[in-house]
């Protein structure tokens, strides 16, 4: 085994690899960009080397800088993780030239499987079933359109290089093909440096199942069973589980055999994943082979008890596979959820900012959290906005689902928008609970998992009142201080009611709280005219616990809650719900909450780059019409008109960077029709 390992990656996967390497007694070396100088993976590693500015192309995607770091630190081996340079044949070749062990397959295997078109041609020769489609080199738009017509709509346009849903579009009619092709090629070039695409028949209600394979340098191959990755949005995985629900032993063996055949075709060494698309009939086709560790590898580890990173390191060091196929067994069921800084209600736009409060669920034999961030760290616009991977295990699928529900309920994040509540609703849908899985599940269950916003319940408001009163008590003047600085409602003879008011979506909600004793109040809602407390009183008590936690009693019900104050905003975690309210002062002007409703709203939702101007200056457009496209955090976003009008100008040209909140287009009212009298 080598003595030192450079991890050419960042975030949770770098931390994950460091954990295993350290257990094996290997010295770990992190690399970092300027944006990651104080990141968790840097803090964890034994050594660290700077590789450049925040931009990935100038740091994590630079083969030259990664190799320079390996040479400078004396690394004997290099693990690429996933993403960035993990499937880059040039890096594998450069490592070989410099005498650094590359923890992964050969450069030749990476090249053959890195192009979806080349891989599918190779698989056809080895008898691996393929989805009907066009995988040729002729990229003339007219040829591609004619092939789509031959295959029959709907079709799927896919970038030949890369993955993660980038450069991929479903096309339902010939009239839509040309525009979709342009968009795919543009996104593919931006993400992978090549705009080559392939065309395939779009399979209705497909399942996405992948098989984990392993090979060594001694001609041995095994598969470590399958994972179901069908639950996706925009072709990106959201939930993964192993084993695949409903999988028979016969079909598992058949898929495993095909996956090993694919690995043998390129003399594969190390960890790889053969991705298959499965029709409702059970027929399955080869999609691609990922020549690296997968994001969802922990679910395979949980059902097999095998550390896949350890296997990668042992194979790279020249050892044979630790086990034969007949020595591999699976036990129980595992599910992984990807916790992202994103806003599901706003089209899953990534969210950036400081993690003011971050409390993951407690880990155990049943719950695992893989993360690259800690409380106080910042999610930046430079990289993928993943906060963590939450992995749970149970004796069967129902037990694993119960663990996932509990773990999501316990996850607390303040500072960025996130998808935790979205995931909680998703796993409770009938489709997921009953394992009615396919890649259209999220869209099919959209109403259940993306419901309209609802007002906080009365119980939640009363817990929020308790949190605000606890804050006031905690910040009250110390003994001997000025009594005029107190906000506890004290007066001679009796305590006056304190007003506690919250604002949400421009609506004010006010209550009166009369102090009975420290941590104990009678709370009454304001009357309809807001002038006095209602005669209906609820007794509310609270006790401060460690950190931001409270024990709150509302009437006869006692519950635990977490209250995080962030400026004027109160974030409340209670009984699995996250409620955000603005704490209003008694002099609050409700009109101020409405903000500038007349604003255009056509501003950059985050930092990014303008990649296309869709509308023309001088054009009259309707509300909702597409105006321009921008690229931000690996996503292509279309900015639509928030009102009708005439396009006056675009402040930014194609290729220019824009800051969050920058005005992207100027509209003027449509000129009146008719002649002036």
**339: β partners:** 388
pLDDT value at residue 438: 95
Backbone phi, psi, residue 651, to 5°: -65, -20
Note down the domain range covering 642.
608-668
Q: Give yes or no for a cis peptide into 243 (omega within 30° of 0).
A: yes
Last residue of a domain, one of 201, 217, 236: 201
Let me know: does 302 contact 369? Beta carbons within 8 Å.
Answer: no
Q: Do residues 437 and 230 touch, judged by C-beta distance below 8 A?
A: yes
Residues 440 and 352 in one domain: yes
What six digits make up the tokens of 261? 């055949």
Residue 607: pLDDT band (50, 70, 90) is: confident
Return the structure tokens found at 402.
């119960």
447 Cβ neighbours under 8 A, 6+ residues apart: none
SS3 letters across 286-343: EEEEECCCCCCHHHHHHHHCCCHHHHHHHHHCCCCCCCCHHHCCCCCEEEEEEEECEE
Q: How far apart are CA 134 and CA 144, in angstroms?
A: 8
Cβ pair 273, 295 in contact under 8 A: no
CATH of the domain at 661: 2.40.50.100
**Nearest 5°: phi and psi at 117?**
-65, -50
Average pLDDT, the chain: 90
CATH of the domain at 13: 3.40.50.20
Domain-embedded: residue 112: no
Give the strand pairing for 47-52 and 27-33: parallel
Q: Which residues does 301 contact at the CB level (< 8 Å), separation at least 6?
A: 307, 308
Task: Report d(CA 603, CA 639) in Å as an integer.
Answer: 8
Per-residue pLDDT tens over the stretch 460-509: 999 999 999 999 998 876 555 555 545 555 555 456 789 999 988 778 88
212 lies in the same domain as 172: no
- Tell me how far apart the alpha carbons of residues 443 and 449 are, in angstroms, rounded to a whole number: 9
Spatial separation of the C-alpha atoms in residues 593 and 395, rounded to whole Å: 50
Q: What's the total number of domains in the chain?
A: 5
Q: Within this chain, do residues 423 and 311 fall inside the same structural domain, yes or no?
A: yes
Q: Are residues 543 and 642 in the same domain?
A: no
What is the pLDDT, as a whole number, of residue 483? 53
- Cα-based distances in Å from 624 to 120, 639, 640, 641, 663: 40, 9, 5, 5, 17
pLDDT tens, 151-161? 999 999 999 88
Look up the CATH number of the domain holding residue 180. Answer: 3.30.1490.20
Instruction: Please indicate, yes or no, whether residues 368 and 269 belong to a single structural domain of this protein.
Output: yes
For residues 227 and 338, state if they share a domain. yes
Query: Is 430 a member of any domain?
Result: yes
pLDDT of 363 higher than 90: yes
Residue 117 lies in a domain: no
The average pLDDT across 305-318 equals 98
- 633, 579: one domain: no
> What pLDDT, on the 0 to 100 scale, is given for residue 278?
94
Q: Which two tokens stand for residue 647?
A: 């396009």
* CATH code at position 350: 3.30.470.20
Is 312 inside a domain boundary?
yes
Same domain for 443 and 542?
no
Whole-model pTM: value is 0.83
Peptide bond into 164 cis (omega under 30): no
Which residue, 535, 566, 593, sits at the end of a domain? 593
pLDDT of 83-126, one tens digit each? 999 999 999 999 999 999 999 999 999 999 988 778 888 888 88
SS3 538: strand
Residues 229 and 371 reside in one and the same domain = yes
Are both 622 and 647 inside the same structural domain?
yes
- Specify whether the backbone of 74 is left (phi greater than 0), alpha (psi in -120 to 50) or beta: left
Residue 592 has pLDDT above 50, yes or no: no
Contact partners, residue 511, CB within 8 Å, separation at least 6: 461, 465, 499, 500, 501, 523, 524, 525, 526, 533
Q: Based on the domain organization, do 491 and 393 belong to the same domain?
A: no
* pLDDT tens column, 199-252: 999 998 999 999 999 999 999 999 999 999 999 988 889 999 999 999 999 999
**CATH number of the domain that residue 521 is part of:** 3.30.700.30
Q: How far separated are the first and last CA of the chain, in Å rounded?
A: 90
In whole angstroms, give the CA distance from residue 66 to residue 31. Answer: 8
Cα separation, 7 vs 60, in Å, equals: 11
Domain-embedded: residue 616:
yes
Token output for 498: 């304190």
In a domain, 568, yes or no: yes
Structure-token match 């287009």, residue found: 665
Q: Is 253 inside a domain boundary?
A: yes
Domain termination residue (choose one: 561, 593, 625)? 593
Band of residue 532 on the pLDDT scale cut at 50, 70, 90: low
CA atoms of 149 and 583, how far apart (whole Å): 59
Q: What is the distance, to the nearest Å, from the Cα of residue 34 to the centroid of all Cα atoms in its chain?
A: 23
Which residues are known to be catalytic?
292
pLDDT at 148: 96
Q: Is residue 503 part of a domain?
A: yes
Pair (423, 539) in one structural domain: no
């Amino acid at each position: 085994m080598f003595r030192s390992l450079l991890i050419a990656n960042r975030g949770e996967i770098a931390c994950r690899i460091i954990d295993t390497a350290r257990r094996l007694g290997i010295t770990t070396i992190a690399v970092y960009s300027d944006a990651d100088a104080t990141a968790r993976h840097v803090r964890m590693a034994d050594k660290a080397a700077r590789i450049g500015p925040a931009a990935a192309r100038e740091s994590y995607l630079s083969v030259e800088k990664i190799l320079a770091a390996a040479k400078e630190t004396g690394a004997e081996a290099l693990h690429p993780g996933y993403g960035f340079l993990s499937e880059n044949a040039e890096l594998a070749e450069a490592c070989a030239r410099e005498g650094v062990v590359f923890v992964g397959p050969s450069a030749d295997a990476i090249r053959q499987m890195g192009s979806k078109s080349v891989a599918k041609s190779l698989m056809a020769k080895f008898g691996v079933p393929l989805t009907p489609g066009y995988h040729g080199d002729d990229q003339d738009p007219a040829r591609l359109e004619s092939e789509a017509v031959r295959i029959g709509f709907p079709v799927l346009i896919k970038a030949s290089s890369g993955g993660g849903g980038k450069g991929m579009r479903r096309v339902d009619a010939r009239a839509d093909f040309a525009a979709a092709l342009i968009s795919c090629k543009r996104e593919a070039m931006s993400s992978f440096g090549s705009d080559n695409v392939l065309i395939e028949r779009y399979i209705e209600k497909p399942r996405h199942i992948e098989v984990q394979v392993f090979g060594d340098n001694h001609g041995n191959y095994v598969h470590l069973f399958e994972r179901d990755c069908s639950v996706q949005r925009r072709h990106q995985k959201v939930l993964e589980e192993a084993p695949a629900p409903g999988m028979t032993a016969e079909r598992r063996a058949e898929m495993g055999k095909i996956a090993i055949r694919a690995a043998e075709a390129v003399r594969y060494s190390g960890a790889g994943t053969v991705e298959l698309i499965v029709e409702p009939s059970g027929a399955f086709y080869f999609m691609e082979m990922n020549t690296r560790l997968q994001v969802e590898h922990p679910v395979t580890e949980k059902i097999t008890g095998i550390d896949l990173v350890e296997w990668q390191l042992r194979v790279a060091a020249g050892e044979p596979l630790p086990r034969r196929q007949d020595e591999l067994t699976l036990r129980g069921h595992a599910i992984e959820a990807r916790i992202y800084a994103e806003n599901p209600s706003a089209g899953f736009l990534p969210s950036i900012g400081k993690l003011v409060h971050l409390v993951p669920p407690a880990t155990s034999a049943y719950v695992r959290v893989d993360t690259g961030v800690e409380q106080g760290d910042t999610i930046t616009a430079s990289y993928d906005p993943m906060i963590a991977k939450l992995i749970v295990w149970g004796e069967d699928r129902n037990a694993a689902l119960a663990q996932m529900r509990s773990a999501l309920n316990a996850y607390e994040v303040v500072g960025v928008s996130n998808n935790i509540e979205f995931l909680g609703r998703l796993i409770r849908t009938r489709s997921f609970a009953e394992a009615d899985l396919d890649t259209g599940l999220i869209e099919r269950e959209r109403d259940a998992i993306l419901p309209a916003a609802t007002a906080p319940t009365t119980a939640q408001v009363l817990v929020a009142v308790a949190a605000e009163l606890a804050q006031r008590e905690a910040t009250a003047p110390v003994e001997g201080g000025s009594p005029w600085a107190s906000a506890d409602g004290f007066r001679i003879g009796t305590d006056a009611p304190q007003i506690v008011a919250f604002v949400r979506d421009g609506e004010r909600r006010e209550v009166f709280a009369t102090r009975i004793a420290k941590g104990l109040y009678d709370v009454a809602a304001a009357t309809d005219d807001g002038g006095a407390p209602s005669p209906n009183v609820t007794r509310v008590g609270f006790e401060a616990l460690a950190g931001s936690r409270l024990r709150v009693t509302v009437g006869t019900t006692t519950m635990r809650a977490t209250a995080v104050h962030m400026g004027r905003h109160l974030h409340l975690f209670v009984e699995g719900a996250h409620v955000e309210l603005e704490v209003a002062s008694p002099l609050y002007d409700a009109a101020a909450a409405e903000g500038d409703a007349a604003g255009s709203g056509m501003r950059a939702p985050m930092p990014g780059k303008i990649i296309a101007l869709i509308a023309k200056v001088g054009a009259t457009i309707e509300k909702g019409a597409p105006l321009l496209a921008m690229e931000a955090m690996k996503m292509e976003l279309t900015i639509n008109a928030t009102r009708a009008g005439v396009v006056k100008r675009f402040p930014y040209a194609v290729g220019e960077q824009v800051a969050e909140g920058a005005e992207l287009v100027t509209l003027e009212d449509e000129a009146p029709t008719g002649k002036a009298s």
